[in-house]
Amino acid sequence: MSRLLAAIPLMFLTGTLVFFLIQFNPVDPAAALLGEDASLASIAEKRAELGLDRSLLVQYGDWLTDVVRFDLGTDWFTGESVLTMFGDRAPVTLTLVFGALAIALVSGVGLGILAALKAGRLPDRIVTVVSSFGMAIPNFWAAILLAYFLSVQVRWFPAIWSNTRTETIGGWLHSLVLPCIALGLSAAAAIARQSRSSMIAVLQKDYIRTALAKGLPVRRVIRRHALRNAAIPIVSLAGFQTSALIGGAIFVESVFNVPGLGSLGVDAVLRKNTPIILAFVMVTTFVVVMVNIVLDLAYAWLNPKVRPG
Amino acid sequence: MTGPADDLVLEIDDLSITFPGGRGFLPWQRLPDVRAVQHVSLSIARGDTLGLVGESGSGKTTIGRAVLRFIRPRSGRIRVGDFDVTGFEGSVPRSFRRAVQVVFQDPVGSLNPSMVVGDIVGEPLRIHAGLSGAARQDRAGDLLEQVGLQRHHLNRYPHEFSGGQRQRIAVARALATDPDLLVLDEPVSALDVSTQSQVINLLERLQRETSAAYLFIAHDLAVVRHVCNRIAVMYHSRIVETGPSDGICDAPAHPYTELLLASIPDPDPEVQTGRSARRRALTIGTAGSVGNAPEDGCPFADRCPHVMDVCRESFPEFTPTLAGGEVACHLHTSGPMLGGAPVGTLGSVGA
Amino acid sequence: MSAHQSARSRFWSRFLRNRVSLVGGGYLVVLVLVAAGARFLTPHDPNVATRFQDFLFPPFGEYLLGTDLVGRDIFTRLLYGARYALFAGAEAVLIALVVGVPLGLVIGYFRGWVDRIVMRFVETVVAVPAVVMAMAIIAAVGTGLTTAMFAIGVVYSMIITRLTRAEVFAAREELYVDGARAAGATDRRIMWKHILPNIAPPLIVQTTLLFAQAVLAEAALSFLGIGASAHQASWGRMLRDAQDSIDQSFWPAVPPGIAVFLTVIAFNVFGDGLRDAFAREARGGRVGVGDVEAVDPGSDPVPPSDDALLTIRNLSVRFPRPGETEDVSVVSGVDLDIGRGEVMALVGESGSGKSITAMSIMGLVPDPGLASAASIGLDGRELVGLDFDELRRIRGHEIGVIFQEPSAALNPAYTVGRQVAEPLEVHLGMGRRQARARVVELMELVGIPDPGRRIDAYPHQFSGGMAQRVVIAMALACEPKLLIADEPTTALDVTVQGQILDLVGDLSRDLGVSVLLITHDLGVVADLADRVAVMYAGEIVETGRLTEVFADPQHPYTEGLIRAIPRNEARSGELPTIPGVVPPPWEWPDHCHFADRCAHAGDACRVGPVPLQTVGASSVRCIRAGEVVLRGVRAHGGAAS
């Protein structure tokens, strides 16, 4: 509840921070927009058109009032509505991010707990080695490898995004399988490590000894008493990983040519397309904050101590 | 046993300490302030030991921290020698840090794990005596020998010592500045019985040698009786009884002091049979000191076998006891018995 | 005194034992050398095409790793790439440390409004995905390797600030900080001399891991084209070029990818090795239980008494000692009988082995301990040799346990009602509703007020005394024959202790359950026990009826304990003490364990093991028993309550 309320000022703070940050760039966007041959007059005209001739505070006020009305402005170069552009591109990026998160959670938690229960033995060593590999592979390189071996060599999955193939839902999802795996790899590795260590820590607790002393079967001790407490730090990590996955999506999209938010963002950074950069920051932050709110609820469910009353 | 007033090393007058309440569920909600210490007055003379006894959460450690000026009280005055502790503005004068030293309960946590013993004991020597190099090592070595350790221990790390030895190191550090007042916060509670008495004997020997005043904070009344000249009993933010050690322990005037004494199990089975019967008779319900202490009224009222209506309305004035101390209990002010007689003589319990 | 090394040399010996981390460290050293000497290791220029303009030349021929799409030597570019990777990583990490550590130290130490403002700012930046934030900063300061890594450094500095602050927050609550402050140390001295050295380990580990992240980030940003420029042979840039020619040849994507991969792994394992070496004790995992192994009875087995509920013969527990081949014995040759309805106290100081003895009865020796016994009989049934599942049916069913720390013994995630109900469901096959009704009865039995409502409360909503009552209810749920109470009142206030002692005493009498009471407090023993067994350094040194042992102890250690305990009596002279301390298990001698602290010990005491000699209902492990006159609880006279 209080997190939800705190999320709104946080969004504005982030937006404000980035708004003023971008002003540091010495390059004049109007000049960049019109190219090297543009006359000073036309540049000035363009500046006025974009509203850049006004004082910074007025620009900021304008931007703020627009944002409150869910108006994210227009692309300086194409004049398209930023909101529409994001609406078109967000679904594929979000599917990619949450698909990767799902893969990472399922495989990471499973492997991590397996490793903890077999601590010091072969399965533990295998998981430890695999997860340290997983954390070290750059996701875009993993993407290149996957694309080469699973699409160029055996043609199981498409290597490059094509608009015709992705018209059906099935084709769309099929095209996202490899990007999701490439993206989820390092998150899965990180979650596996966290699951292992938090499970091991929980198994040392007094209440596990109590549960054993009560004569509960080991499986019940693990399922009922250990798992739920071990999940608490994993939930915290999942929030951090969501943030990392959104960042990672930018690179994976670039390898597979996926028309998501990432390519939009990179392009905007290269061309200093301020409205897009601002929207990019705000939208990604919004997603992270929303995920964290959901995770907070899960956290409170797992840990009665933080529940009110 | 108290000397003339100008010989007092520590004087606490009407001390109250509160802690801000936590955050509520909604961001703007604030829980009420926690009353940790209310209207406490105490004094210790040079060379004397005052025992401050109470259960967890009674506020005894908080008083110790206020004397060390780790926390600022809400109201009241603390004087240590010529220092007006509550009057310090901003940083604390170095000479005050020389005059007051401390030994904590936890012999593991109270020594910096990344420093060798020589640096731990030598730090106050560097700060207050300006010693360095060989002179400092030399003096630190003397101090170690004074507390029953050896000079070659200077180069070891704290984790290489047993609990009792670590507590000796902490005592050596405290002695380094030749303090006037030593705050001992549960100095032997974490130790095994056999080590406990070793450390107590050490502290007593050192007191004879230095005539420092001790504020001995502990939960175990039996230990306190052995160590202290005078005792102050705390319950849930209030001092309820003070007096000479033997007087309080042989003839408690406050029902809580009596319960506390009846709760110390004795190793003599015969003695313990009688004592546990007494304990049962004095125990009302199952409550402990939970929640915030009441602002008015006696905090012990809910657990007191003698409770009267007036006990919930006002906290009693201090009355002199027959044992030579003072008690804050309505039994002795407006109750059937006047004059601070021992509770044991006050007639049947729990009737 | 065992051979002691300084903490620093122990740290390095721990680290050097970790081979994986050593390999990682070795790789990093080589990487630095390669980066420094790239010019001397290759004849080619990283940015100029080879003489014959061999585009996409395959590897292992004329050019060791082939050439890229414009004919540049890949091996050469790889070597120079190490430079960019290390410089980029160093830049980001340095910025992060220079900004983050002092800032975190100061705001963590002084807190207050500066802390609140800085943290609001940090939280704002950290809420944005790191890469996105870095891109926004790059949008402001321009693209290029230096500016990109500056952006990464700024984002990382927020992470370091947050970590440092959290560590300082925890460290400044430590008593040694209070101790330093009482000694007169200034705030600056406390921050730099006391707090920083103690929070350095996590910071060093985090720095190593961030370096790995920075190498990854450099590669990623250069791959997108907003990091290294076309003229900088960074690994990320090489991958970008490889991606452009991927339709013609896959090979150029392999070497730089492996280089990034190996470098990141090297930093990670190096950091992990540091972390493990910093940790004082290596910790095991697994559900810590071991079975009890059967051994021959000792040379002179004591016959079991007829009316005993529990008989233990020759119980020993060993633990493997890290770095040593031989196990160390923490409990040896324990014989113990507990009668029906009897309260038997097992007394000893910390390290005597009393708790482990009790846990072995149920087959709950903490991992990796090894227990062995000739016999453990419970109500005529032999427990030694039972497998885990057979012992499980006895735990919580025929043997109930109460632990020292009630708030830790209960699972914070479940209501107390569900936890008390568990043994009922598992052992007695009760359904939810039936079990719930029984739980309410049990809670009433142990004196929890308003059980119908409190049954749905969570452990943290109970005070220590109330939580201990819950644990007692749980232990008694299946009406066990034996109750093991392991320091049941040590964590409680003294007035609450009395209530719990009364409760345990009443219940054992009313329900006829035998109790094994483990404690260090002779007063608690005198309150509850019928018989007592005194343990010292892994051995039972004396047993007998409570009244006899305490009034007339036969073993000097028992006498020492009795005399050292502070009692509510007027005192005269110094407090009696036992000189010295309990030695660690690996220093226990073969002869009498107590000899070195004993005032009565002679040469005969230091010859060989001393057997436990039984006389009637008592036994004592002392060759001078009967010879020396020892004083009991009434010796110094005059105490009556």
User: Which CATH number goes with the domain that contains C274?
Assistant: 1.10.3720.10
pLDDT of residue B283: 87
pLDDT of residue A309: 46
Clarify whether residues A196 and A100 are in a common domain: yes
What average pLDDT does this structure show over C249-255?
A: 86
pLDDT of residue C29: 93
pLDDT of residue C515: 97
pLDDT of residue C283: 43
Clarify whether residues C260 and C325 are in a common domain: no
Clarify whether residues A134 and A87 are in a common domain: yes
pLDDT of residue B178: 92
Instruction: State the burial class of residue C568 (Cβ atoms within 10 Å of its Cβ: 0-12, 13-18, 19+).
Output: buried
Which of C238, C253, C278 is the last residue in one of the domains? C278
Clarify whether residues C150 and C199 are in a common domain: yes
Clarify whether residues A48 and A149 are in a common domain: no
- Give me the phi and psi of C2, to 5 degrees please: -75, 160
Q: List subunits contacting chain C, requiring 3 or more Cβ pairs under 8 Å.
A: A, B
Task: Provide the CATH number for the domain around residue C337.
Answer: 3.40.50.300
Question: What are the residue ranges spanned by the domains of chain B?
Answer: 251-351
Contact B25 A308 (CB under 8 A): yes
What average pLDDT does this structure show over C621-627?
A: 90
**Euclidean distance between CA atoms A284 and B111, whole angstroms:** 47
Contact C136 A254 (CB under 8 A): no
| Residue A154: domain span | 82-306
Clarify whether residues A149 and A255 are in a common domain: yes
Contact B25 A309 (CB under 8 A): yes
Q: Does B113 touch chain A (CB under 8 A)?
A: no
- Here the tokens at position A253 are 């999209």
- Give me the phi and psi of B287, to 5 degrees please: -70, 150
Is residue B349 predicted with pLDDT exceeding 50?
Answer: no
Q: Does B272 touch chain C (CB under 8 A)?
A: yes
Question: Is the bond preceding C368 in cis, omega lying within 30 degrees of 0?
Answer: yes
Q: Does B27 touch chain A (CB under 8 A)?
A: yes
Instruction: Say what the pTM is.
Output: 0.85
**Euclidean distance between CA atoms C96 and C585, whole angstroms:** 47
Contact C179 B156 (CB under 8 A): no
Please tell me the distance in Å from B296's CA to the nearest CA on chain C. Answer: 24
**Euclidean distance between CA atoms C587 and C585, whole angstroms:** 5
The mean pLDDT of chain B is 88
pLDDT of residue B67: 96
Nearest by CB to A225, from C401, C411, C471: name it.
C411
What average pLDDT does this structure show over C583-591?
A: 90
Clarify whether residues C337 and C385 are in a common domain: yes
Q: Does B28 touch chain A (CB under 8 A)?
A: no
Is residue A248 predicted with pLDDT exceeding 70?
Answer: yes
- Here the tokens at position C225 are 């084209």
Is residue C508 predicted with pLDDT exceeding 50?
Answer: yes
Contact C194 B112 (CB under 8 A): yes
Is residue B345 predicted with pLDDT exceeding 70?
Answer: no
- Give me the phi and psi of C31, to 5 degrees please: -60, -45
- Here the tokens at position C424 are 């009922």
- List, for residues C40-94, the tens digit of each pLDDT value: 877 777 777 766 666 667 777 776 777 777 778 888 889 999 999 999 999 999 9
Contact C641 B266 (CB under 8 A): yes
Is residue C152 predicted with pLDDT exceeding 70?
Answer: yes
Clarify whether residues A119 and A261 are in a common domain: yes
B141 — pLDDT class (breaks 50, 70, 90): very high
Contact A6 B27 (CB under 8 A): yes
**Euclidean distance between CA atoms A80 and C127, whole angstroms:** 28
**Euclidean distance between CA atoms A63 and A284, whole angstroms:** 18
Clarify whether residues A44 and A186 are in a common domain: no
* Runs of H (alpha helix) within C446-545: 451-454, 464-476, 494-511, 522-528
Is residue C144 predicted with pLDDT exceeding 70?
Answer: yes
Q: Which residues of B touch C198 (CB under 8 A)?
A: 112-114
Whole-number Cα distances in Å, B163 to B186, B216, B221, C350, C560: 13, 19, 22, 11, 19
pLDDT of residue B339: 56
Whole-number percent of chain C with pLDDT over 90: 47
pLDDT of residue B3: 43
The mean pLDDT of chain C is 87
Strand partners, B217: B52, B185
Q: Does B193 touch chain A (CB under 8 A)?
A: no
Clarify whether residues C243 and C324 are in a common domain: no
Which of A68, A102, A125 is the last residue in one of the domains? A68
Is residue C252 predicted with pLDDT exceeding 90?
Answer: no
What average pLDDT does this structure show over B58-71?
A: 94
- Give me the phi and psi of C289, to 5 degrees please: -140, 145
Whole-number Cα distances in Å, B27 to A120, B158, C116: 46, 43, 15
- List, for residues A167-189, the tens digit of each pLDDT value: 788 888 888 889 999 999 999 99
- List, for residues B198-250, the tens digit of each pLDDT value: 999 999 999 999 999 999 999 999 899 989 999 999 999 999 999 999 999 99
**Euclidean distance between CA atoms B325 and B152, whole angstroms:** 47
Q: Which residues of C touch B143 (CB under 8 A)?
A: none
Clarify whether residues A165 and A211 are in a common domain: yes
What average pLDDT does this structure show over C535-561?
A: 94
Output B83 or A151, whichever has higher pLDDT. B83
Side chain identity, residue C44:
H
Whole-number percent of chain B with pLDDT over 90: 64
pLDDT of residue C290: 56
Within-domain flag for C639: no
CB C260 within 8 A of CB C235: yes
Clarify whether residues A113 and A250 are in a common domain: yes
| Residue C105: domain span | 80-278
pLDDT of residue C407: 87
Interchain CB contacts (distance < 8 Å): A and C: 239
Tokens 């070891």 belong to which residue? B156
**Euclidean distance between CA atoms C413 and C513, whole angstroms:** 30
Clarify whether residues C209 and C153 are in a common domain: yes
What average pLDDT does this structure show over B318-344?
A: 77
Q: Does C635 touch chain B (CB under 8 A)?
A: no
Clarify whether residues C312 and C213 are in a common domain: no
**Euclidean distance between CA atoms C199 and C142, whole angstroms:** 36
Tokens 């209310």 belong to which residue? B38
The mean pLDDT of chain A is 85
pLDDT of residue C472: 95
Within-domain flag for A73: no
Output B336 or C334, whichever has higher pLDDT. C334
Q: Does B138 touch chain C (CB under 8 A)?
A: no
A250 — pLDDT class (breaks 50, 70, 90): very high
What average pLDDT does this structure show over C21-50?
A: 84
Q: Name residues whose C-beta falls within 8 Å of residue B29's C-beta, 6 or more positions apart in sequence.
A: B23
Q: What's the longest Cα–Cα distance across chain C?
A: 109
Please tell me the distance in Å from C197's CA to the nearest CA on chain B. Answer: 7
Within-domain flag for C463: yes
- List, for residues B29-54, the tens digit of each pLDDT value: 677 888 999 999 999 999 999 999 99
Total domain count, chain C: 2
Which of A68, A98, A123 is the last residue in one of the domains? A68
What average pLDDT does this structure show over C565-573?
A: 82
Q: Does C498 touch chain B (CB under 8 A)?
A: yes
Please tell me the distance in Å from A65's CA to the nearest CA on chain B. Answer: 26
Is residue C296 predicted with pLDDT exceeding 70?
Answer: no
CB B97 within 8 A of CB B70: no
* Runs of H (alpha helix) within chain B: 60-67, 94-99, 117-124, 133-146, 163-175, 193-210, 221-227, 245-250, 255-263, 269-282, 330-333
pLDDT of residue B169: 95
Nearest by CB to C395, from A24, A203, A213: name it.
A213
What average pLDDT does this structure show over C126-135?
A: 88
Task: Provide the CATH number for the domain around residue A173.
Answer: 1.10.3720.10
Total domain count, chain A: 2
Clarify whether residues A213 and A270 are in a common domain: yes
- List, for residues A256-301, the tens digit of each pLDDT value: 888 889 888 888 888 878 888 888 888 888 898 889 888 888 888 8
What average pLDDT does this structure show over B271-292?
A: 81
Output A166 or A106, whichever has higher pLDDT. A106
CB B181 within 8 A of CB B207: no
